[in-house]
């Protein structure tokens, strides 16, 4: 079975001068193409993913002629943006220990009885209005 596949993909390099070569590859060409394909797949994981700006630019270019791309662009623009710091806190820049401390604090706040939670929120809002 492998002989049939090799015969279909690879042709001997014998052609008459001046004539177009057959549409099949020689063994050397097939090996080189397979090597280049493997190398490109192997290095793909090392390249950075596209930035949000690059994705948006590509969607805008396609949206001019493709209604499906226009719909995807609209959904892309409506997505929640996590790049911006929330109230001055960049969660992505926090260390694992800081994130764990934040999580444990939020769990404790969530476990408060409703009256205490309401009093805490009122104090925080009052302090914010004074500042």
pLDDT value of position 19? 61
Residues of the chain with pLDDT under 50: 1-2, 7-8, 10
Based on the fold, state whether residues 56 and 68 are members of the same structural domain.
yes
Nearest in space to 52 (alpha carbons), one of 87, 80, 86, 31: 80
Q: What pLDDT is stored for residue 1 in this prediction?
A: 47
42 and 53 housed in the same domain = no
Q: Does 89 reside within a domain?
A: no
24: left (phi over 0), alpha (psi -120 to 50) or beta: beta
For residue 115, the model assigns a pLDDT of 92
110: in domain? yes
Handedness of CA 10, 15, 21, 23 (dihedral sign): negative
CB atoms inside a 10 Å sphere around CB 11? 17
């Amino acid at each position: 079975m492998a002989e049939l596949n090799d015969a279909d993909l690879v042709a001997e390099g014998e052609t008459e001068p001046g004539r177009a070569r057959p549409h099949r590859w020689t063994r050397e060409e097939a090996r080189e193409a397979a090597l280049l394909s493997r190398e490109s797949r192997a290095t793909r994981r090392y390249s950075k993913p596209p930035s949000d700006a690059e994705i948006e630019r590509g969607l805008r270019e396609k949206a001019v002629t493709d209604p499906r791309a226009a719909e995807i662009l609209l959904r892309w623009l409506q997505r929640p943006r996590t790049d911006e710091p929330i109230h001055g806190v960049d969660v992505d820049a926090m260390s694992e220990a800081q994130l764990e401390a934040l999580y444990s604090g939020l769990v404790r706040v969530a476990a408060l009885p409703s009256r205490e939670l309401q009093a805490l929120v009122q104090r925080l809002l009052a302090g914010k209005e004074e500042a």
